[in-house]
Amino acid sequence: MKKLNIANFSKYLTTTTTDNLFVFYGEERFFIDQLITAVERYVFKESADKQTSYQTFYGTENTLSEIISACMSFSMFSERKLVVVKEFDKLKVSDTDSLIKYILHPQKSTVLVFTADKWGNTKVFQEILKNAVSVPCKSLRDEEIYVWLYNKVKSVNSRADRESLVFLVENIGNNLLRLNTEIDKILDYIGPGSKLTLDVVTELTGFSREVNIFNFQKCLAQKNFENSIKIGIQLLEQGEALAGILPMLFGFYRKIWMVKTLRSKKLRNQEILQQLDGTAYAYQDIFLAEEEFTLEQIGFIMEKILDAEVQLKSSQRKNDSILTMLCYYICHN
C-alpha cells in the first residue's frame, strides 16, 4: 500500500507508469475531484481517448458485476481505460471474493479508481487499500484554508494581503469549490505578478465588507438584535440560503459550548486550543462570544437553531420570518 497526501500526488504520477488502482476517500469532495482529474491526465495523453475509454459508476446506482465487467473489458481505441467508482462505501458488495480476485489479478490496461466519504474496515476494503495508492481527503481547518488560498495565489506568481483572503473566507465559508472558483476568477482578472488586495476582492466579487456570515455571527454574539436582523435579511436578499446559514450558526455556537465547557475546568486559552486542535485566529470570535453566554443559554440557542431547521423543511413560514424569530431568541436570551 502506498499512502500519499494531496500535495505530492500529481508529482508522484509523473514518476510512475505502473499503478492501476487508486483510492481517494474523505469528506472533502473538492480534493477528490481534483485527484480524479489528475488521474485522467495520467491515463489519457489525448483528450479524444477519454471520450471512448472512460466509465463512471456509482455505489448507489450500479452493481459490482457491472463494475468488474467494465474493468475486465479492453479499450478499443486507446492503450488504457479508466474506470471510476464513486461512493464505493455505499455499494452493496455481496460477492466479495470476485472483487478481491480482480484486485489481486487486475486487467493491466485498466486503471481503477474508488472514491468514498469513509473507507471501511471490512476485509474487502482493507484488501483494496493494501493494493492501492491511497490519498485521504480531509476537510481543511480554518487556518489551513488560508494557507491553501495563499499557495493558490503564489502558484501564479502573485501576492495577496491576508485581509483579502480572510474576507473571501468570511463571505464564502469553507466551501473549497466556491473558494476555488472565486480565487481563479480574481487571479485571471488581475493577471500573474499582481497583488490581491481587499479593494480588488470587494470590487470583483460584489461582496459587502459589512454583510457576511461572520459579521452576522458577531452581531448575534453581541446580542445586537437590530444589526443582526439587518445583516441576516441582506444575506438572504443576496442569495444566501437559510439552509446554509443555519448549520454555520449551529457550528458557531457548538464551538462556544465546547470552549465554555473546557473553561469550566479552569483551562486557559492555549490549553483549550490544544484540546480542540484549533488556532488563536480561528477561535478569536469564539473566545469573545463565550463571555456573553452561559452554558444553559448556549444549549437553548442550539435547540432554537435546530427548531428553525425543522420549520424550514416542514412549515410554510417564509425564510425571513424564521430568521427574524431566531435572531430574537438569541439576542433576548
Report the predicted TM-score, pTM, of the whole model to 2 decimal places: 0.65
- Banded model confidence at residue 147, pLDDT cuts 50, 70, 90: confident
d(C-alpha 159, C-alpha 266), whole Å: 42
Q: In this model, does residue 273 exceed pLDDT 80? A: yes
The reported pLDDT for the residue numbered 247 is 92
Residue 23 to residues 63, 77, 160, 252, Cα–Cα distance (Å): 18, 26, 34, 33
Average pLDDT, the chain: 89
Cell of 185: 476568477
* Interval 11-57: pLDDT, tens: 888 886 688 999 999 999 999 999 999 999 989 887 777 878 899 99
The reported pLDDT for the residue numbered 261 is 94
Domains of the chain as residue ranges with CATH? 2-136 (3.40.50.300), 142-205 (1.10.8.60), 213-331 (1.20.272.10)
Stretch 155-165: mean pLDDT, rounded? Answer: 88
The reported pLDDT for the residue numbered 280 is 78
Going edge to edge, which strands form the sheet with 81-86?
2-3, 133-136, 21-25, 110-116, 81-86, 54-58
Q: How far apart are the first and last CA of the chain?
A: 54
Q: What is the rounded (10 degree) CA torsion for 218, 223, 229, 235?
A: 20
Q: In this model, does residue 201 exceed pLDDT 90? A: no
Stretch 248-275: mean pLDDT, rounded? Answer: 93
Stretch 206-232: mean pLDDT, rounded? Answer: 86
